[in-house]
Structure 1
């Protein structure tokens, strides 16, 4: 088990200046050490894993020149003009190549994917021909060399198919299968412990009393970690007491990362930062975003610690903007820069300068056929339904004031690339 970090005398105060989001994100990602432990897994189970080693092809793909369509193969020199005729001497099918070679004035029938035999340098589409017994009339000649896929056109033998650090998507699995790879070396999945804090939290499968709420954040974190391909370790709900937090932190320190929700502000029952300062270290604890300002980042033993705010939207926003890219880096991947669009807003936006705002919104197509963004009515940080009904953020810079309807704003869709492409 990793040993606890040196005790810290850190104690946050409300006067501590929040860190700008871009600075906080860069600072977090730069401190993440990619996991070095590797394992070999069958290709069929490698989806959403990160390659630990590059994959080099032993073969050409395709392995031989082949036809890109159904038609007839011949030597272009034998067809001087449209309407010429050739003798059909055989056929080449996918998996059943023509084994002979063509003489002057001859052609073969050839199917898509079939090997192009010696003497053929052009394939004419079947639709541009008509056959009369063993005689083929070419009504419309293609350009010489047309409709033939060269050996190694897709992947050449000795070429890197995927670089180390690649996040394996379904298309990547297919590419690896095309070069005969049956298993791959991947990075061990990060083990991420998570728990919620709060005496008011109750299990979702039982009743609640006045003043109590269902523990939704923990289920949201579990889903976010699962979607990211992490191994989540659910440590349950921890009460609002230093003793309970110390016990939870001691258990959580054995993992690669720890994500908590709640208890990171400066309220009377917020002890996360104090206990983290005792058992680990705090790098920073406030970020200039809304929602989500009270976010703590530090170390707990050898585990990276992320203390997220307790309001459900704040938990989701801070995970997406700060925790997710950090875990991608820890997993051996490369966090992709957020994809953002410039679109008009369909409603007025209220904004005071000071913090970067993430407003929940929906992408819509206007009557004129143009893309625009429509903000969700209720933007409270406790209204998780605003995240459920939205499909994007409207991102307003820290210095921004109110924005009238029709103005162009920055939009960050929820559905976008999270794992960037490594450079081999």
Structure 2
């Protein structure tokens, strides 16, 4: 790491030692996480495969449709029998869905069929019930049909051996439907990346506990677990440590034994009770400043072969650190689409500290005045919260991070900025 200087309020002040750029630090984290791409493959039941990444190409074991069947509730006939309408035909039987459907259709007759029922041998089209009058014994067809109408032929959806889904696909409900339709009981998927979360701080208590003076609720553990889950990472544990080094070390040992990557929050700055830094630095941990706001203090360690990413404890700092430094690579490893980044104009003026790349919380606004949240072409972005790293409730209104470069100190209304979709 190298030392830099920056101006603040017009006066030259020394930059904290070892300040890295955002891009350089993210590159370091990505190199640390890249080996997690080599994950084992497991076979899971199709209903449990939703959201999982397919490990192999899948091919259809059967035709779809499996057999010739009716696309409508109606009457199976020979098209030649209904060329001239109206015409009255004798009813030769009823074929329900699930029936064997092997009884041939007599010439000049009709058979009642249900949607999905087999087409009887000899029939070549189906007349919908809307075009028929029947007294139970005879059927009067009001409108004729041509051969093939409302008949589903075998293999018209997919044929045996056809590709159903490619390796690397993230299985969505539409994929699950197709896999189930061809009768696959299980599918091969990559095991998800497993993550453990450890929050720190004597001041943190669980939700539902009455707050005593000096205490706050622990949001970081829940927030990090939610962020990981939303990006297809399996959260194996969420624990909290006091500022006691022995307790943190014990939780860390358990975390590295069960997870592929560990996330910690708090205890990485320059105070007197920085338990994460105090425990991890002797283990080879690297702690220092990144030229970013919020989230300047950061730490990286490898413990028993497991990467440990240590974020600062202020809630917004924790969330922005995850979004900027960890989320892009985790999504890449999981086969998810890249984090979307857009160029849009500002609706508010912005000031930013020189030498620090600032990530403000913003909300996309459609030009047509529609509700924000979904990007649909040209839009603007407005700042929805102050820059403070404690303003987590304000961040809840944001759907993007506004990326202000380190060398920029002010932006006027209308200036174009990059925004990261949350």
TM superposition score category, shorter chain reference: 0.7 to 0.9
Please tell me whether residue 376 in structure 1 is matched to residue 384 in structure 2. Answer: yes
2:321 alignment partner in structure 1: 318
Once residues 132 and 321 of structure 2 are traced to their aligned partners in structure 1, the CA distance between those partners, rounded to angstroms, is 63
Report 1:380-399 matches (<5 A).
380-390=388-398, 392-396=399-403, 398=405
Secondary structure, aligned partner of 1:219: helix
1:194 alignment partner in structure 2: 197
Deviation digits for residues 91-141 of structure 1 (CA, Å, limit 9, x no counterpart): 432112532334665443332212223344433433344457624324364
Q: How big is the shift at 1:378?
A: 4.3
Once residues 75 and 26 of structure 1 are traced to their aligned partners in structure 2, the CA distance between those partners, rounded to angstroms, is 69
Give the root-mean-square deviation of aligned CA atoms. Answer: 4.2
Asked if the contact 2:243–2:274 (Cα under 8 Å) also holds between the matched residues in 1, the reply is: no
Secondary structure, aligned partner of 2:307: strand
1:350 alignment partner in structure 2: 350
2:338 alignment partner in structure 1: 337
Once residues 270 and 175 of structure 1 are traced to their aligned partners in structure 2, the CA distance between those partners, rounded to angstroms, is 52
1:16 alignment partner in structure 2: 19
Once residues 311 and 194 of structure 1 are traced to their aligned partners in structure 2, the CA distance between those partners, rounded to angstroms, is 15
Report 1:105-254 matches (<5 A).
105-131=108-134, 134-139=138-143, 141=145, 145-227=148-230, 228=232, 230-239=234-243, 248-254=251-257
Unaligned runs of 5+ in 1: 1-11, 415-424
Please tell me whether residue 60 in structure 1 is matched to residue 58 in structure 2. Answer: no
Asked if the contact 2:126–2:149 (Cα under 8 Å) also holds between the matched residues in 1, the reply is: yes
Unaligned runs of 5+ in 2: 1-14
| Change in 2 beyond 3 A, CA 1:208/1:216 | same
Deviation digits for residues 41-92 of structure 1 (CA, Å, limit 9, x no counterpart): 44454444444455443222321122222233344455557x4536354443
Normalised to the residue count of structure 2, the TM-score between the two structures is 0.73
Of the candidates 256, 260, 264, which is equivalent to residue 256 of structure 1?
260
Asked if the contact 1:32–1:326 (Cα under 8 Å) also holds between the matched residues in 2, the reply is: no
| Change in 2 beyond 3 A, CA 1:14/1:149 | farther
Asked if the contact 2:316–2:390 (Cα under 8 Å) also holds between the matched residues in 1, the reply is: yes
The number of aligned residues is 394
Once residues 409 and 342 of structure 1 are traced to their aligned partners in structure 2, the CA distance between those partners, rounded to angstroms, is 5
Bigger radius of gyration: 2
| Change in 2 beyond 3 A, CA 1:276/1:94 | same
Secondary structure, aligned partner of 1:72: strand
Once residues 94 and 342 of structure 1 are traced to their aligned partners in structure 2, the CA distance between those partners, rounded to angstroms, is 55
Normalised to the residue count of structure 1, the TM-score between the two structures is 0.73
Q: How big is the shift at 1:275?
A: 4.9
Once residues 114 and 174 of structure 1 are traced to their aligned partners in structure 2, the CA distance between those partners, rounded to angstroms, is 20
Once residues 209 and 180 of structure 1 are traced to their aligned partners in structure 2, the CA distance between those partners, rounded to angstroms, is 58
| Change in 2 beyond 3 A, CA 1:112/1:237 | same
- Larger relative contact order (C-alpha < 8 A, sep ≥ 6)? 1
Secondary structure, aligned partner of 1:59: coil
1:404 alignment partner in structure 2: 413
